[in-house]
């Protein structure tokens, strides 16, 4: 299985959720584009939270500026194309983590959703509760449907009001599985392992 982890926005816990999935599936990990934080990349976080035995494939782009990939690339005189990316050659389960949400630009004309479409991967969509999250979640699901991309997992990261959760779950297809991640006070290898060991995929039926 290969899976693309994206989110309804930035700072909603994609890397933590990717660590949990990587641990749960005993998967390899790949971050195609790292923009900024090169001193402590998402791949480094996965190594710390899952364990150094996990296989993290090198990023296709490592960019200095902590900004949208198209802006970070432009600052270095580069231009990103989805044709630059090739899935790592592995027979193991692979967790691929995107940058930001589906419409984060890789260039002036290509977006993260174009990369998902090029790689032809099922999607795990990470959702976190905040004012506006319903709108952002449903728009993200609409965009995936428009491209004919499979939403394999909806990941509810943290606690949600019942009314919010109900609207979101009513909107997804029955084939989509729901994963609930509890609030994490401290992100440690031990906590990641405990959550991944207790992970349940709830069928929406």
**Are residues 144 and 123 in contact, defined by beta-carbon separation less than 8 angstroms?**
yes
Give start and end residues of each alpha helix (H) in 63-188. Answer: 69-75, 112-119, 133-146, 162-171
Say if residues 127 and 157 touch (Cβ distance below 8 Å): yes
* CA gap 46, 159 in Å, rounded: 23
The answer to whether the Cα torsion of 63, 115, 138, 195 is positive or negative is negative
Per-residue pLDDT tens digits for 170-196:
999 999 999 999 999 899 999 999 999
pLDDT in tens, 26-75: 999 999 999 999 999 999 999 999 998 999 999 999 999 999 999 999 99
Q: What's residue 200's pLDDT?
A: 83
Alpha helices per DSSP H over the chain: 14-25, 42-50, 69-75, 112-119, 133-146, 162-171, 189-197
Residue 205: band (very low, low, confident or very high) from pLDDT cuts 50, 70, 90: low
Place of tokens 């609409």: 142
How many angstroms separate the CA atoms of 179 and 61, rounded?
30
Domain ranges across the chain: 2-203
User: Percentage of the chain with pLDDT > 90?
Assistant: 93
**What are 127-143's pLDDT values in tens digits?**
999 999 999 999 999 99
The beta strands (E) that lie in 52-93 are given as 56-57, 61-63
List residues with catalytic annotation: 31
Instruction: Name the CATH topology of 2-203.
Output: Rossmann fold (3.40.50)
Average pLDDT over residues 79-99: 96
Residue 11 confidence (pLDDT): 87
Give CA–CA dist 203/205, Å, rounded.
6
What is the tens place of the pLDDT at every residue in 111-126? 999 999 999 999 999 9
């Amino acid at each position: 299985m290969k899976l693309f982890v994206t989110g309804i926005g930035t700072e909603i816990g994609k890397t933590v959720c990717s660590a949990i999935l990587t641990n749960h599936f005993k998967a390899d990990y790949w971050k195609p584009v790292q923009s900024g934080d090169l001193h402590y990349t998402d791949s480094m976080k996965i190594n710390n939270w899952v364990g150094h035995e996990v296989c993290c494939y090198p990023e296709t782009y490592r960019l200095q500026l902590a900004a949208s990939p198209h802006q970070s690339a432009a600052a270095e005189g580069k231009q990103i194309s989805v044709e630059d990316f090739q899935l790592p050659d592995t027979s193991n389960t692979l967790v691929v983590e995107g940058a930001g949400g589906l419409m984060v630009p890789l260039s002036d004309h290509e977006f993260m959703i174009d990369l998902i479409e090029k790689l032809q991967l099922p999607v795990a969509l990470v959702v976190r509760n905040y004012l506006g999250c319903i709108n952002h979640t449903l728009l993200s699901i609409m965009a995936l449907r428009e491209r004919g991309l499979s939403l394999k997992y909806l990941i509810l990261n943290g606690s949600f009001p019942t009314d919010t959760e109900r609207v979101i779950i009513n909107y997804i297809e029955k084939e989509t599985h729901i994963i609930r991640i509890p609030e994490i006070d401290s992100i440690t290898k031990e906590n990641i392992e405990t959550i991944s060991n207790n992970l349940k995929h709830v069928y929406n039926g």
